[in-house]
Amino acid sequence: MSKSQLAHGSLTSLAAALALLTAGCSATADGAEAGGCRENGGWSATERAEWLRLTVSFPEATTDETAADRNSAVVIRPRDTDAVGPLCEPVTMRVEFWKLTTTTAGTDMTSALRYQLTTDGTEDRAIGFPPGLSAGERGACVGVLMAAYAGRPLSDTELPEDIGHLGPAGTADVEFRTDRIGAYRLIPPSDPERCDADRRRTATPPASPVPWPRSHP
């Protein structure tokens, strides 16, 4: 075989190898790569939030919780039903808790805990309530707001602007000012009306003393 034939054969083999490599690395129509992971490098904040929405759950809000769930505030489930596999690039996410305290003016909101982790959709993780905010520790005037979101910590301009007076359990709602929130849950104080009444009674000033003696006609 001549040198030119050998060179031509080598070039043909190289082209075939490159074609196979290109085919193996290219993404399919549904976003899954041939390697078994889902391409997410170009996801927007909204797309990451939508993906988290199907991954995060709040066991205390469900009726079919397991024994392990009863001590958990937030659970991150594996994406068993996601046919396109785990994410190629794990998402950096945060789970944050805020303490909500009922006052006569409305509701005070204070960050209690921020937990950072990464997930590609294959882990099963559970995060408990911060100290003092579990169901058995919260008082009548204290509630909890928890949220799961991707990326950097939320800024003040992304938090709910005004929670206002919280209603009975199960009827409260908040509105975050960002599209980064994957999921959230609000647990109102157990008895905000009684709490308001107690605070009003405590804040009532004492009666002014009578400026004259009892013998005054």
pLDDT tens profile 189-205: 888 777 765 555 444 44
- Per the domain annotation, does 27 fall within a domain? no
Contact 98, 144 (CB under 8 A): yes
- The residue that leads in pLDDT, 96 or 82, is 96
Range of the domain at 107: 45-202
Confidence of residue 130 (pLDDT cuts 50, 70, 90): very high
pLDDT at 116 over 70: yes
Asked whether residue 120 is assigned to any structural domain, the reply reads yes
Average pLDDT over residues 76-89: 76
Q: Element (H or E) spanning 75, and its range?
A: strand 74-76
Residues comprising the chain, all counted? 217
Q: What is the pTM of this model?
A: 0.70
CA distances in angstroms from 38 to 75, 86, 92, 146, 179, listed in the order given: 22, 6, 16, 28, 22
64 vs 189: CA distance, rounded Å: 23
| pLDDT above 90: residue 135 | no
Number of other CB atoms surrounding residue 173 within 10 Å:
11
Residues near 203 by beta carbon (within 8 Å), at least 6 away in sequence: 104
Residue 126, pLDDT above cutoff 90: yes
Would you state the structure tokens that stand for residue 26, as one six-digit string? Answer: 């290219």
* 149-155: average pLDDT: 95
Taking alpha carbons only, the member of 135, 136, 141 closest to residue 110 is 141
Identify the burial level of 142 via C-beta atoms within 10 angstroms of its C-beta, where 0-12 means exposed, 13-18 middle and 19 or more buried. Answer: buried
Residue 111: beta bridge partners? 98
More reliable by pLDDT, 188 or 12: 188
Give a yes or no: residue 39 inside a domain: no
Give, in order, the Cα–Cα distances in Å from 116 to each of 13, 113, 131, 147.
Answer: 48, 10, 17, 12
pLDDT at position 7, please? Answer: 44
| pLDDT band, very low/low/confident/very high, at 35 (cuts 50, 70, 90) | low
**Mean predicted confidence (pLDDT) in 24-46:** 68
User: Residue 70 has what DSSP assignment?
Assistant: G
Mean pLDDT of the chain: 75
The answer to whether residue 138 sits within a structural domain is yes
Instruction: Tell me whether residue 189 is in a domain.
Output: yes
Confidence (pLDDT) at 193: 73
Q: How confident is the model at residue 82 (pLDDT cuts 50, 70, 90)?
A: low
- Residue 10, in any domain of the structure: no
Number of domains in the chain: 1
Average pLDDT on 65-73 reads: 58
128: in domain: yes
Let me know if residue 166 belongs to a domain: yes
